[in-house]
Amino acid sequence: MPGIPSELPSPEIRRGRRLVRRFATLNGVSVVLLMDSMLILYAIRNGVGDSALAALASFIHLTMPLMIVGKHLTARIGAARTWGLGWALRNFSVLILVIAPFLPGCAPQWARTSIILAGGFGFAAFRAIGLVGNSPVIGEITTGADRGRFISGNWVRATTSQLLTLVVVIIVLNRVPETWVFQMLIGFGGVLGMYVGWVLSHVPESTVPRHSARKPLGEVLSRVWHVPPMRKILYAWASGIAAFTVVIPFAVITVKNGYGLSDYEALSLSLLTLSGGMLASIVNSIIADRVGPRPLIIIYVSVLALVAVYWALAPAEFYLVPTLLAFLLAGYSKFGLIVVVNHYFLSIVEGGDRVGSAMVMRIVSGAVAGLIGAVIGGGILGLLHSLGFEGMDIYRTYFRIAALGLLALIPVVRRLDRLEEWSVRDAVLLLLRPWRILRMRREG
């Protein structure tokens, strides 16, 4: 199944790649201004509590069932237009967040929290609708021979623009740490995000995604469940998303509410998360097509489990170096997982099955990760508060529970069917020897 040719002519493929690259670069700027860390810090400024923060961080996953709406849209208007429309409406919705600080001081806290959660929900919901078009569009403008390189290359572009933007944001907030600055940044991110949605809507595509989207949902579910390789990638996809969902947003909450770091300091740590993501994108662009996605999925889930173990044992006082390393490794693993899970999926699923299958994968994995983050994660934090836990004791206890869950996910991803790939041991040794990766890059 790898190497399935696109039905698009070569000029259209090249045009599609140019537009998707433009999207990746500009969307990177928008994403930084609206990413988990920014929204969490903005919500904390507006008095939102830990349980609501956990829900806010989990909306991106809990809203995945709305991809069913995206499936119907794809059948009517195509994958690229659905992706673009969802992205434009997603970023329009986030402008609701800007309203919260304008409420009068006598307004109850639940009103501010409701506005923040409403904006966050719309931001996530329209993303889910548009995301249906992602895998089919990428599948049409790539082939098996260059798919890993193209996907990883886009992540390099995205993370580069994210890093540069976040540096600017950190400098600005360090000099003017005011709520209105957050509002301006969120507003600009929303407007730019609407533009990149327009860019996506112009990516060319064949009729294959529309035909794929017309397949009955029951037929798609039956195929995903009864074809063993697809069922296994479903489990692995859910495991990967759950892994970084229970680590990264809660690490931001930990350093902010547990260690009492300022917004500027917390965002500086998020810079390490993005740096890790950029490094993962560069490395994956070099090695993913050779090593294979499966060993890398196993490695990244394992590293996130180790990061959770660190936070479970974290000292009561803040220490810079281990915290920096924890954020760097978490970002490396998160972005690495996003790339290689999609790479594995596109390698085993034919073009005609991609719309429905990708939707099922994202709905199920998003629901699992969202429930774990919002219901279990938020519930644990709320319970610990009610039991009288304070400071870092709350977050260490949470991560002890999370670490046990993450360790249990490693056997799940190991069950993925092997493709043409290296052993996990050899992949680990390669990652620990950067000079070999540089040699691979020079050899092409």
The model's pLDDT over 195-208, given as tens digits with 9 standing for 90+, comes to 999 999 999 988 88
Q: How far apart are CA 414 and CA 298, in angstroms?
A: 6
Q: Which burial class, exposed, middle or buried, applies to 69 when counting CB atoms under 10 A from its CB (0-12, 13-18, 19+)?
A: middle
Mean pLDDT of the chain: 86
Mean pLDDT in residue range 314-318: 90
> What per-residue confidence (pLDDT) applies to 4?
41
pLDDT per residue over 9-55, tens digit each?
778 888 989 999 999 999 989 988 887 778 888 888 888 888 888 88
Q: The tokens 């991560």 sit on which residue?
A: 399
With bands split at pLDDT 50, 70 and 90, how would you rate the model's confidence at 420? confident
The CA distances from residue 64 to 151, 169, 336, in Å, are 22, 29, 21
User: DSSP secondary-structure letter at 419?
Assistant: -
Buried b (16+ CB within 10 A) or exposed e, 214-238: ebeeeebbebbeebeebebbbbbbb
Angle, CA 358 vertex, CA 356 and CA 360 arms, to 5°:
70
User: DSSP secondary-structure letter at 296?
Assistant: H
444 or 322: which carries more pLDDT confidence? 322
> What per-residue confidence (pLDDT) applies to 5?
43
Q: How many Cα atoms are found within 13 Å in the side-chain-facing hemisphere of 247? A: 36
Say if residues 304 and 330 touch (Cβ distance below 8 Å).
Answer: yes
Say if residues 416 and 236 touch (Cβ distance below 8 Å).
Answer: yes
Q: How far apart are CA 304 and CA 68, in angstroms?
A: 30
> What per-residue confidence (pLDDT) applies to 59?
85
Of 33, 53, 42, the closest CA to residue 251 belongs to: 53
pLDDT at residue 2 is higher than 60: no
> What per-residue confidence (pLDDT) applies to 333?
94
> What per-residue confidence (pLDDT) applies to 104?
80
Mean pLDDT in residue range 419-444: 86
> What per-residue confidence (pLDDT) applies to 426?
93
With bands split at pLDDT 50, 70 and 90, how would you rate the model's confidence at 114? very high
> What per-residue confidence (pLDDT) applies to 126?
95
* Helix axes of 320-348 and 293-312: crossing angle, nearest 10 degrees: 150
What values do phi and psi take at 261, rounded to 5? Answer: -70, 155
- Per DSSP, the three-state class of 121 is helix
> What per-residue confidence (pLDDT) applies to 1?
37
351 or 438: which carries more pLDDT confidence? 438
> What per-residue confidence (pLDDT) applies to 352?
65
Mean pLDDT in residue range 59-83: 88
- Per DSSP, the three-state class of 60 is helix
Mean pLDDT in residue range 292-298: 92
Q: What is the CA radius of gyration of the chain?
A: 21
Mean pLDDT in residue range 284-289: 83
Sign, CA torsion 275/278/283/289: positive
Q: The tokens 């993370």 sit on which residue?
A: 159
> What per-residue confidence (pLDDT) applies to 376?
80
- Stretch among 55-69, 111-125, 310-324, 349-363 having the lowest mean pLDDT: 349-363
Of 39, 164, 170, the closest CA to residue 96 belongs to: 39
- Per DSSP, the three-state class of 421 is coil
> What per-residue confidence (pLDDT) applies to 145?
63
pLDDT at residue 3 is higher than 80: no
Of 239, 340, 324, 237, the closest CA to residue 280 belongs to: 340
Quick one: what percent of the chain has pLDDT higher than 90? 33
**Continuous segment of H or E residues that includes residue 374:** none
Instruction: Please give the distance of CA 191 from its chain centroid, rounded to a whole number.
Output: 21
pLDDT per residue over 377-394, tens digit each?
888 888 898 898 888 999
Sign, CA torsion 333/339/345/347: negative
pLDDT at residue 152 is higher than 80: no
With bands split at pLDDT 50, 70 and 90, how would you rate the model's confidence at 144? low
Q: How far apart are CA 114 and CA 90, in angstroms?
A: 18
Q: Which domains does the chain have, with CATH numbers?
A: 10-443 (1.20.1250.20)
- Stretch among 97-106, 135-144, 328-337 having the lowest mean pLDDT: 135-144
With bands split at pLDDT 50, 70 and 90, how would you rate the model's confidence at 81? very high
